[in-house]
Chains A and B, each alone.
Chain A
Amino acid sequence: MESASQSSREAILARIRAALGTSAGAPSAPVAAPGGIFPPIPNPLERFVAECAANFTELTVTANRVETVEVLARILHELPAGEIYVQDIPELRELITRADGKDVTWSSQGPPAEACQATVTQAEALVAMTGSILVSSLGCGGRGSSVVAPCHIVVARVQQLVPTIEQALALVKERGLPARSSFVGLITGCSRTADIEKLLVIGAHGPRRLAVVLQQ
């Protein structure tokens, strides 16, 4: 199997090189920046709020830390009984003080259980243009923490908001995430499908509810 791979690898590369060498393919044109493709975003927070409403993200903007703790406690209180899974970082350990007597599993203890009712994580960034949350496995409690439970709660700050996807991807590079984090994801709203008659149904295999608590 190994040797077959090695010979196929060389054969494929040789075929590609021969193809590129002999055929008069168009020379690669300089690639223009994506400016002008999308309309400008004059007010990122306003846009983020509007996009969240459109993509079924449940967004609460809070004025300060006290309010953030309250909103978080309310969301956790409303959840059905069961375990919650929280990204293990000091900031979230401090915020989840009133977990309403729920069993909390921390991301340092292993992957989330199938039956957990909610996950709580931070985000790498928020994207105004599409109302998206940028997460990474290294910085946001792993891979399952944003997809396994029926409810994903994201705690973020307004300073994390970037206007465009391009800027979010630039951040991914700046932080060296490709080298350190095996997963990076741009999440836009909750899980959905339109595979039956092209009609939208919310809550396919991932979270039915995506709640973002955004502190100013």
Chain B
Amino acid sequence: MRGTAAQEFLRQSVEKTADLEHRRIIRWNIDNYDTAVNRGKSRFADWQAARDRCQQVKREALARLDDYLLQFEKQVVARGGKVFWASNSEEARNYVTELAVARGVKRIVKSKSMVTEEIHLSPALEKAGIEVWETDLGEYIVQLRNEPPYHIVTPAMHLTRLQIAELFRAKLPDVTADDHQSLVAAARRALRKAFFSSEMGISGANFIVADAGMIAISTNEGNGRLCTSVPRIHVAVTGIEKVVPRLQDLAVLWPVLATAGTGQPITTYSTLIGGPRQPGEADGPEEFHVVLVDNGRSQLLADPEQREVLHCIRCGACLNACPVFRHVGGHSYGTTYQGPIGSVLTPHLRGQDFNHLSFASSLCGACAEVCPVRISLHHHLLENRRNAVRTAGQPWKEGMGFKLWSWAMRSASRYRVLTGLARRAARILYSMGYEGSWIDPAAAWTAYRAAPAIPRQSFRQWWESQDGKR
């Protein structure tokens, strides 16, 4: 019933949870994040009102998604840009790859885009013989390590400065020191050559602005700016749900995204792009293509219960807040989107094989509390569990267990006899050292934790023994 994705998730979770160095690094990163975000939120007069407003804007955008996408498309086309609608990953991948091949592109610079990860774009381009350079520092680091991003906002969160220094010394020509500044400078030198020798730049989009007919891209490093300014062709790949109705909506969404993502008041380069180079402009790409990716999103739109999952602005706040993410780490998920949003979203994008992720949650609700667009993440995790049971059914042991329990519960004497037996059996098993072994029914818990000492008496027996003393 549970496929290999689930087994792999369990295996890696066990391994990562026991890796204390990994947990130390993640804790250090998230502590730095928390400090910055708390400072950032204090710049708002009313953070809760900002969340309400963002939720309203996204709700409004989805309610007329078709109109807004057409409004956007019309203006991009009027400026000489091209909009390609892709039903699935394959269509999106093929469009970009065929375009690159047709234009004789040899090298591509990419700024950070989770949708290009979702559709596995880079491997397709590389297969066509094209060099692909990730230019966001974190993405560049994980690309050099041949790894997927660990976190949707901080792709190299799992690595220390020293590990990155070691990697750079092995892969880059001129790494002299291993302080933060020198490492960033080394990456800058290496990537600058790529920016100025690439024929195509690929970006994502944080927002699709309907009334302005422009995409909005937020980057801090300036790599997104260079990818969309220097090469002769710019391709933006994004999901159809990224729409906002009005340019003015960014007056709240930009600061909210930056605050929830990194704690900044606003991202350094908050950029709007609507087309290729226009008459009278000094520079800019000759061609501008926008690839609008559906890939399961319209299906999620049809689910009134979970439609709001499409509000997500990919800030990463729910990952940082999640106790499960902090322990098992980003790679264990085996998905493009990790943490609570990944657990909710992935079954809709990649099917029922990823339902197990919704069970890996304590339903504490920390994710929903930090979500800047107020997605009820923990409720959606619960709904996914229900959906999983509806389609795949319950594990037989669980079904048997509950049947036995309800049978026992319905008679006081039956309950007394059976719980008494169970208590005695556990005492014997544990005294013989079988705690946490295969024979222990509570092994999932006791394999990693000491079971509480099991008393000789039940509560009922104790209560009766107290009778005379009251």
The chain A residues found within 8 Å of chain B, CB to CB, are 1, 4-5, 8-9, 11-13, 15-20, 22-29, 31-32, 34, 36-39, 51, 55, 87-88, 107-108, 110-112, 114, 129-130, 132, 137-138, 141-148, 164-166, 169-170, 172-173, 178-199, 201, 203-207
Contact = CB atoms under 8 A, between A and B. Distances in A.
B250 A165 contact: yes
Interface centre among B29, B84, B265 (most CB of A within 10 A): B265
In the complex, the 9 A-B pairs of residues with the closest C-beta atoms, listed nearest first: A206-B222, A142-B282, A111-B283, A204-B221, A19-B302, A166-B251, A15-B298, A143-B229, A195-B138
B345 interface: no
A77 B222 CA distance: 26
A160 B255 CA distance: 21
Interface in B50-104: 50, 52-53, 56-57, 59-60, 62-66, 69-70, 75, 79, 84-87, 91, 94-95, 98
B292 interface: yes
Given A137-B281, A165-B255, A198-B33, A191 B221 contact: yes
B223 interface: yes
Contact of A206 (B62, B75, B269): B269
21 contacts: A1-B95, A8-B91, A12-B240, A12-B298, A13-B66, A23-B301, A26-B59, A137-B278, A144-B282, A148-B229, A148-B230, A182-B275, A182-B276, A183-B271, A191-B220, A195-B141, A196-B137, A204-B187, A204-B220, A205-B188, A205-B223
Given A5-B85, A15-B299, A138-B280, A185 B66 contact: no
Interface string B151-173: 00011110111001000000000
Interface in B222-238: 222-223, 225-226, 228-230
Given A197-B32, A205-B195, A164 B251 contact: yes
B248 A170 contact: yes
A189 B268 contact: yes
A150 B148 CA distance: 31
B254 interface: yes
B184 A196 contact: yes
Contact of B301 (A20, A114, A207): A20
Nearest to B140: A195
A9 B156 contact: no
Contacts of B262: 194
A5 B84 contact: yes
B192 A173 contact: no
B461 interface: no
Main secondary structure of the interface of A (DSSP, over half): loop
B220 A137 contact: no
Given A16-B301, A183-B271, A193 B184 contact: yes
B145 interface: no
A32 B251 CA distance: 13
Contacts of B136: 195
Contact of A166 (B248, B267, B270, B284): B248
Given A12-B85, A19-B299, A137-B284, 15 more contacts: A5-B86, A8-B87, A24-B304, A31-B56, A32-B49, A51-B265, A114-B192, A132-B266, A144-B229, A165-B254, A186-B266, A196-B180, A196-B183, A203-B184, A205-B222
B409 interface: no
B37 to A, nearest CB: 11
A178 B304 contact: no
